[in-house]
Chain A
Amino acid sequence: MEYLIHLAILFAIYAVLGVSLNLVVGYTGLLSVTHAAFYGIGAYTTALLLTQSGGMGFFPSIALGIILTLIISFLIGLVLSKFKGDYYALGSLGFNTIAFAVFLNWHNLTRGPLGIPGISRPELFGIDFSNNLNFLMLVLVFLGLVYFASRFIVASSFGRVLKAIREDEEAIQVFGYNTLYFKLTVFVIGAGMAAIAGSFFASYITFIDPSSFTLTESVFILATIILGGLANLRGSILGALFLILLPEILRFVGFPADIAAQMRQVVYGVILILLMLYRPQGLIGEYKL
Chain B
Amino acid sequence: MKILETKNLVKRFNGVHAVDRLSIGIKKGKITGVIGPNGSGKTTLINLLSGVLEIGGGEVIVDETEKLTRLLPHQISFYGITRTFQNVRLFEQMTVLDNILVVVTERNVFASLFEKHTDYHGKVAEEVLQKVGLWEKKNQLAVNLSYGQRKLLEIARTLAMKAEIYLFDEPFAGLFPEMRKIISDIIRELKRENRTVILVEHDIGLIRELCDYIFVMDEGKLLAEGAPEHVLEKRVVIEAYLGE
Contacts and interface: CB of A to CB of B under 8 A. Distances in A.
B85 interface: yes
B91 A171 contact: yes
Contacts of B83: 174
Given A155-B116, A156-B114, A160-B105, A174 B91 contact: no
Contacts of B73: 170, 173-174
B50 A174 contact: yes
Given A157-B105, A157-B116, A175 B82 contact: yes
Nearest to A156: B113
Contacts of A163: 91, 93-94, 98, 102
Contacts of A286: 93
Interface residues of A, number: 28
Majority secondary structure of chain A interface residues (helix, strand, loop or mixed): helix
B107 to A, nearest CB: 5
Contact of A157 (B76, B85, B115): B115
Consensus secondary structure, chain B interface: loop
Contacts of A158: 106, 109, 112-113, 115
Interface string A148-166: 0000010111101101101
B51 interface: yes
Given A157-B115, A167-B93, A168-B91, A174 B109 contact: no
Contacts of A179: 74
A178 interface: yes
A177 B107 contact: yes
A172 interface: yes
Given A156-B116, A168-B91, A174 B77 contact: yes
Contacts of B106: 157-158
A185 B109 contact: yes
A59 interface: no
A70 B230 CA distance: 63
Interface string B103-130: 1011101001111110000000000000
B93 to A, nearest CB: 5
B117 A157 contact: yes
Contact of B74 (A155, A156, A167, A174): A174
A215 to B, nearest CB: 29
Contact of B82 (A153, A174, A177): A174
**Most chain-A CB neighbours within 10 Å: which of B76, B82, B91, B114?**
B91
Contacts of B157: 175
A171 B89 contact: yes
A181 B109 contact: yes
Interface in A256-271: none
Interface in A175-190: 175-179, 181-182, 185
Contacts of B52: 170, 174
Nearest to A169: B73
Contacts of A175: 77, 82, 102-103, 157, 161
B102 A156 contact: no
Contacts of B93: 163, 166-167, 231, 286-287
B76 A164 contact: no
Nearest to A29: B93
B92 interface: yes
Interface of A: 153, 155-158, 160-161, 163-164, 166-168, 170-179, 181-182, 185, 231, 286-287
Q: Which 9 A-B pairs have the closest CB atoms?
A: A176-B77, A173-B73, A157-B105, A167-B91, A158-B112, A157-B112, A175-B103, A171-B89, A157-B115
Given A167-B94, A168-B90, A178-B107, 7 more contacts: A156-B116, A157-B102, A158-B115, A160-B101, A168-B92, A172-B102, A175-B103
Interface of B: 50-52, 72-74, 76-78, 82-83, 85, 89-94, 98, 101-103, 105-107, 109, 112-117, 157, 161
29 contacts: A153-B113, A155-B116, A156-B112, A156-B115, A157-B101, A157-B106, A157-B115, A158-B112, A158-B113, A160-B102, A160-B117, A161-B112, A163-B93, A163-B98, A164-B94, A168-B90, A170-B73, A171-B91, A173-B51, A173-B72, A174-B73, A174-B82, A176-B74, A176-B103, A177-B107, A178-B74, A178-B107, A179-B74, A185-B109
